[in-house]
Amino acid sequence: MEVKVNIHTIQYNEYGDTNDIKVNATGILYEKKDNTYVVYKEKQDDQETTTSIKIEDDKVTIKRFGEVNSTMIFKENDITRSNYLTPQGMFVIEIKTAKLNINMEEKIDIDIDYNIEIMDMFKGRNLIKLNIYK
């Protein structure tokens, strides 16, 4: 089923600077083995990235494929580590999910509050608000 995907991310770095990112895309939603998946593509500077969002009862996994390849796993009160592959090289990212709210009633609303650390280069806190609807 075709859906609208709205993502609003606010990034706070360790110095107090903020970055506000909004993505609006059209994607495909489907169910597989009791999980919900949403896949969409976005284009920026002639680079296309495919993003896959897997929604489970208590966990959300976001995978990105393209110029940057990454897997980010969000589960409340969990710490996850994964590789973040960019044209500049591979980095290890650590995610500590402080809050994860998943509401899948009429539409899908997901709120994620997490701390991220990219090796010794970046530390910050991100708030993601995902809205997925027909």
- The series of mean pLDDT values per 10 residues for the chain, 134 residues long, is 97 94 96 97 88 98 95 98 92 97 96 94 95 96
In this prediction the pTM is 0.94
Cα–Cα distance, 60 to 36 (Å, whole number): 10
Question: Looking at residue 117, what is its pLDDT?
Answer: 96
- How far CA 87 is from CA of 5, 26, 38, 68, 91, in Å, comes to 27, 26, 26, 7, 11
Structure confidence at residue 120 (pLDDT): 83
Distance of CA 106 to the CA centre of its chain: 21
Asked whether the beta carbons of 64 and 82 are under 8 A apart, the reply is: no
pLDDT at 101: 98
Reduce the secondary structure of 50-117 to three states and give it as a string: EEEEEECCCCEEEEEECCCEEEEEECCCCEEEEEEEECCEEEEEEEEEEEEEEECCCCEEEEEEEEEE
| Terminal Cα distance for the chain, rounded | 8
pLDDT of residue 43: 85
Phi-psi map region of 67: left, alpha, beta (phi>0 left; psi -120 to 50 alpha)? alpha
Indicate the Cα dihedral angle 65, 52, 82, 91, nearest 10°: 30
